[in-house]
Chains A and B, each alone.
Chain A
């Protein structure tokens, strides 16, 4: 573990220099602790894959003071491996207009379209981090049997809710954005909910399962969600 400054108003706590489950658990233990029991002058924190960054008010605390306050918290942490925060099921309508690259992913891996859907929706994924876009989950656990390269030229707009694959990663775009991932489906579920107290449907430590749904069900769901 090491701690170093991010400029004059934040400190990064780094648990490892490679992505491991152990580092992920430590990140979550620290986040739990900071949520309930932060120090005076702390503003917010941002968990990532192997780090937690803590923002503080430099008008209230010097770097040294913030460092000691944070160090006291970090050194008293108990490294208990944490279970899943919760399991969240994400309904996905695979293929068709919602997943224009599903066939490409199948061809690329010598599989049928149904097999890709089966593998993608048959796995459990761990949310390692939320970031890049509001509510965007970094998911670990995708089968290498359905991996696919990024598109050679990115799409200009990808609709919110689109599920994609890039390399060994899979993820869901919470807001409309440009992007180069292979698009395999779309969820009617809103991942980013700006009017709720927790604006991200998913949080670090959640287990995600994808459940295939039909276009009809997508429409009904979407109508209900808005």
Chain B
């Protein structure tokens, strides 16, 4: 079982939930920028939540399916189509052999996750399938996808086999069939254009001038084109230390907002380095990292201060929603009404 890359698009990489436990050796975490979308996509195709999926950035990817495969597309909306038919997101979709899935214009967000039932048949390096581009390890031969690559797919789980057979019956002569239910928008993170991102104070918050501290939580920042998976470089109010001070390099993590001497903050993300030496004015709440991951260059963000306890409570609530989602998907499966209701896409 496999899919073939007809066109890789801007940046397409294999990512799972990241490579943990190796930061003490300087090995970065990597992983999906929007872990929420990745986890949901996997649940929908009957995979374990942390299975690797394709992270497709912005524009232009085109993939050929060489078997009947159950997929789910979650995250931003990059106009996925098959033969001109729009493919709905946030639900399981059966794609038949020979179909070509194309991503077009960016309608919302910045990156999308394509999970395939079974997951990709690629080796784990240091217990993760995530691509670490700089070191050339993990993912598909340690690199982003290129034209002509063939990605092998493992056999689907029993759960996925049942979904595939049900959707296959429904599809008839159509190339694609999707479940008629989808994940409720109510459980999504608040994906919006120019979002407000919640953050707690950073370790060196008090090093900054009172004005800069205020500006950080009040003003708008532009996400510049120099942003990538390593971090978002922001531009707006120049943030200043109240006196020149040097920080001794220490650990940084996803969502760390550090401020180099130029005064423009950088939010570190999935491919961040393990340690950094710039003062940290804030730390994005983990619960809001998926929202930030869907912000693209040219968009704007604002930060809203919350307390550490609140950040942890929000994360707990998100996890409860996840458990409900998993149960909900299971119920759909076993419903006496025949379980999987399907719509054909014509």
Contact = CB atoms under 8 A, between A and B. Distances in A.
Contact of B286 (A8, A19, A136): A8
A5 interface: yes
A19 B27 contact: no
B25 A43 contact: no
Interface in A26-80: 31, 43-51, 53, 55, 58-59, 62-63
Nearest to B319: A59
B309 interface: yes
A135 to B, nearest CB: 6
B72 to A, nearest CB: 24
Given A8-B315, A129-B275, A134-B135, A46 B203 contact: no
Interface in A112-128: none
Interface string B191-216: 00000000010010000000000000
B57 interface: no
Interface in A179-225: 192, 194-195, 198-200, 203-204
A106 interface: no
B315 A58 contact: yes
Contacts of A136: 26
B13 interface: no
B256 A6 contact: yes
Given A10-B253, A59-B315, A47 B285 contact: no
B222 interface: no
B316 interface: yes
A133 B255 CA distance: 19
B240 interface: no
A132 B21 contact: no
A134 to B, nearest CB: 4
Given A58-B315, A175-B134, A194-B126, A130 B200 contact: no
With most chain A CB atoms within 10 A of its CB, the pick from B26, B125, B135, B312 is B26
Contact of A6 (B251, B274, B315): B251
A226 interface: no
B273 interface: yes
A177 interface: yes
A131 B275 contact: yes
Which of B248, B255, B280, B308 has the most chain A CB atoms closer than 10 A to its own CB? B248
A26 to B, nearest CB: 14
Interface residues of A, number: 47
Nearest to B252: A6
A130 B315 contact: no
Nearest to A14: B250
A8 B253 CA distance: 10
A53 B247 CA distance: 15
Contacts of A48: 248-251, 275
Given A6-B256, A9-B253, A129-B275, A135 B25 contact: yes
A7 B23 contact: no
Contact of B135 (A46, A131, A194): A194
A156 B72 CA distance: 39
B133 to A, nearest CB: 11
Interface of B: 20-28, 125-126, 134-137, 200, 203, 248-253, 255-256, 273-275, 280, 283-286, 308-309, 311-312, 315-316, 319
Please name the 7 residue pairs, one residue from A and one from B, whose CB atoms are nearest each other, closest first. Answer: A53-B251, A7-B283, A200-B25, A131-B275, A8-B311, A46-B251, A51-B250
Interface of A: 4-10, 12, 14, 17-19, 31, 43-51, 53, 55, 58-59, 62-63, 129-136, 174-175, 177, 192, 194-195, 198-200, 203-204
Given A48-B248, A58-B315, A133-B273, 15 more contacts: A5-B283, A6-B251, A19-B248, A43-B21, A44-B20, A46-B23, A59-B315, A62-B312, A131-B26, A133-B134, A194-B27, A195-B125, A199-B126, A200-B25, A200-B26
